[in-house]
Amino acid sequence: MLYDEHLDGNMELAEPQIFVMKRSGERIIFDESKIRNAIQKANLEEGILSARLSEKEITSITEGIKKDAQNAGRDLSVEEIQDKVEDALMDTGKHSVARLYITYRYKRNEFRKMSHVDQKIAGVVERDNEEVKQENSNKNPVVLSVQRDYMAGEWSRYYTSKYLLPNDIVAAHQDGLIHFHDADYFAQHMHNCDLVNLEDMLQNGTCISGTHIDTPKSFITACTVASQIVAQVSSCQYGGQSITMSHLAPFVDVSRKKISARLHNEFAEAGVVLSEDKFNHIVEQEVRKEVESGCQTIQYQLITLQSTNGQAPFVTAFLYLNEVPEGQTREDLALIIEIMFRQRILGVKDEKGYYITPAFPKLIYVLQENNITEGTPYFYLTKLAAECTAKRMVPDYISEKKALELKGDCYPCMGCRSFLTTDRFTDAGIGNIANAMNYQEGKHRYYGRFNQGVVTINLVDVACSSGQDEEKFWEILEDRLNLCHRALRIRHERLLGTPSDVAPILWQDGALARLKPGETIDRLLFDGYSTISLGYAGLAECVYYMKGASHTTEEGKSFGLKVMKALNDACKTWKEAENIDYSVYGTPLESTTYKFAKCLQKRFGKIPHVTDKNYITNSYHIHVTEPIDAFSKLTKEAEFQVLSPGGAVSYVEVPDMQNNLPAVISVIQHIYHTILYAELNTKSDICDRCGYTGQIQIVKDSTGKLVWECPNCGNRDQSSMHVARRTCGYIGTQYWNQGRTSEIADRVLHL
């Protein structure tokens, strides 16, 4: 139970050093905190407070065993130390705690006899696998459905590494040279993320769980159906999805006509005569109420619904005025956007009645010429967006100006940041290969398309492996890219031959296609209809190691852009050879940032400014500790975002801006002119114990572990506080591993 794993980090040790002999024969440094933690675990399991040990007793036992180890004249074994713990616990007279410790020790001994995959699954079931517990900040590992998903995921990882991947790719993944994403779902023939063709499903009908759904006859019904579609889609893939509110906007007028007819009849029957203006005013009031109900349905459904993997659907709602024509439909879309902002500003109530920040749906608002400055028709929406961002961290922002300049079209990312490549199959005359019922000849198509999967290259490892030899760096980079290419091909080939029957909502009922039963999805994997992503991480540390400077400097930028160009050149070569749309993707590392950091430290030690943190930097981002103002950060990162056509998002870290909305609007306007996709990160926390709202702080506990603490009442119970932080594009609300928590703590403000 004690000393089963290597120590993390350096410890301040009294001289002379004490060593312990592990069961494997390995000699490691004595760590008294492991003894304390083991006793505390047993102590907390004792339900009767008076039967528990005091902190003073725990300290006395720990220090006593440390003295025994010092005076032993040799290295004590793990078993000997555990025997001493048992004896000391019995000597306190707290026999129930001693029995709990002995039972736990027995369970741990039995645990070691299990196979690796069995140990992982047992760790999930017993809720003592810290790696799994903090793998995903939007999953609660205590919930049975999440545990079931994690258990299946452990088996999938085992099956994938043993039977589906070559040994060298498995080894590279385990060593942190690359990351083969979502191996916990790879055993099944599943894809990553997509843009749902909601318009086709709503306007032409669909089928959910074997039940045919006709075209909705009202806005609120359309919202309900859309929510059910999102939940179904989420259960058939492992990535995020995006829907656009433009596909719901036409149903507002459907409701308007229905309401108008009803009120006309009611007033006629009552003998009430109203002027046309008065009647229309009443109708519009009723329409607004229905839109409010519909938008609330979407918000609450998508928060409370669970997909089969035990979490709320990872979904983004796209808010783009120019996606619909001028006139009534655009005005109705503006109404939807306004109401969604107002409802998000309010938040949702937790179980104690406090208003908190929900994680989903993520909102993306498009900045365009008619909403970006005072005096434009929809600037009032942008001001509401600024208020919402300052309070709830959403919406994020896409610049129509930059989208048209860089991509030729303006369309949403899939999920949190993955962008489709620009439509090339329409211009090539390939036609309606998905059999979509809303297909329009010659019109570029984005909804109904998807991403096949991701493999990420660790750029920091490439740099460190080169020993700062630039010629060697490019050789290693080429080798690693070839490794990534082979891994990506395996992802692609895993989808080849997949019949539409595996996920009817996706492939037969319109979300992505309307294929026939038994028909394979193969033709949707080529010609640019779908994408596959070469991810990358750690450009900041890579550049610093090679050049001794940040990529915000001219020398660092030049090298960083050269690296990014090499990634794009590789994707271009593969694409031309295989007719598959490979694309460079700024990976949103969450738990993997910690894994990569630990692998780097194991391979290269702690190199200042490179491997000395418990995390590495996402994609091309400027390092979180580097002082820089918001406008300069966005401007500098925009040059790199251009070279991440497969997806990337920039952010600026800001303090509480609720009383300084003009500054928020200034940043938003800068985004419009400068960068395709960006977001503002603020803090949106609440302590249930004392009602404090503001920023819950990160502090170190007595063992050196980073924990969250209310600055008002000192509460450290994570179950009685709500912390919302953006960590990988999405807002996370279930806390993070020590690597990501360390990164959050290190972030400097940019405004």
User: Which of the following is catalytic: 255, 451, 650, 742?
Assistant: 451
What are 3's strand-pairing partners?
A: none
User: Which of the following is catalytic: 393, 414, 484, 687?
Assistant: 414
Q: Give the chain's radius of gyration (CA, Å).
A: 28
Q: At 423, list the tokens.
A: 């439509």
Please indicate whether residue 497 is annotated as part of the active site. no
Please indicate whether residue 388 is annotated as part of the active site. no
Distance CA 416, CA 414 (A): 6
Please indicate whether residue 418 is annotated as part of the active site. yes
Return the DSSP state at 162.
I
User: Which of the following is catalytic: 240, 729, 732, 739?
Assistant: 729
CB 600 within 8 A of CB 464: yes
Buried b (16+ CB within 10 A) or exposed e, 405-414: ebbeebbbbb
Q: Which residues contact 676 (CB under 8 A, 6 or more apart)?
A: 398, 399, 402, 403, 406, 638, 641, 642
Distance CA 241, CA 235 (A): 11
Please indicate whether residue 729 is annotated as part of the active site. yes
Please indicate whether residue 416 is annotated as part of the active site. yes
User: Which of the following is catalytic: 137, 156, 192, 644?
Assistant: 192
Distance CA 92, CA 610 (A): 48
User: Which of the following is catalytic: 136, 227, 309, 418?
Assistant: 418
Distance CA 684, CA 695 (A): 7
213 phi and psi, to 5 degrees?
-115, 120
Please indicate whether residue 451 is annotated as part of the active site. yes
Q: Give the closest residue to 454 by CA, choosing from 618, 647, 318.
A: 647
Element (H, E) at 153: helix 144-159
Q: Give the closest residue to 245 by CA, choosing from 327, 366, 343, 344.
A: 366
532 phi and psi, to 5 degrees?
-140, 140
User: Which of the following is catalytic: 21, 190, 193, 340?
Assistant: 193
Please indicate whether residue 590 is annotated as part of the active site. yes
The alpha carbon dihedral of 327, 333, 334, 339 has a sign of: positive
What is the SS3 assignment for 237?
Answer: coil
Distance CA 211, CA 108 (A): 49
Q: Give the closest residue to 488 by CA, choosing from 171, 174, 236, 182.
A: 182
Please indicate whether residue 192 is annotated as part of the active site. yes
User: Which of the following is catalytic: 190, 245, 393, 416?
Assistant: 416
Distance CA 514, CA 355 (A): 41
What is the SS3 assignment for 584?
Answer: strand
The alpha carbon dihedral of 70, 71, 77, 82 has a sign of: negative
Task: Tell me the CB-side half-sphere exposure of residue 17, using CA atoms within 13 A.
Answer: 11
Please indicate whether residue 647 is annotated as part of the active site. no
Distance CA 314, CA 231 (A): 9
Distance CA 465, CA 611 (A): 12
CB atoms within 10 A of CB 563: 23
Got the DSSP string for 649-665?
-EEEE----TT-HHHHH
Q: At 646, list the tokens.
A: 């497969």
User: Which of the following is catalytic: 397, 585, 651, 730?
Assistant: 585
Tell me which amino acid residue 419 is.
Answer: F
User: Which of the following is catalytic: 57, 290, 590, 709?
Assistant: 590
Q: Give the closest residue to 550 by CA, choosing from 626, 657, 488, 487.
A: 626
Residue with tokens 């259960």: 235
What is the SS3 assignment for 363?
Answer: strand
Distance CA 700, CA 708 (A): 8
Q: What residues act catalytically?
A: 192-193, 414, 416, 418, 451, 585, 590, 729
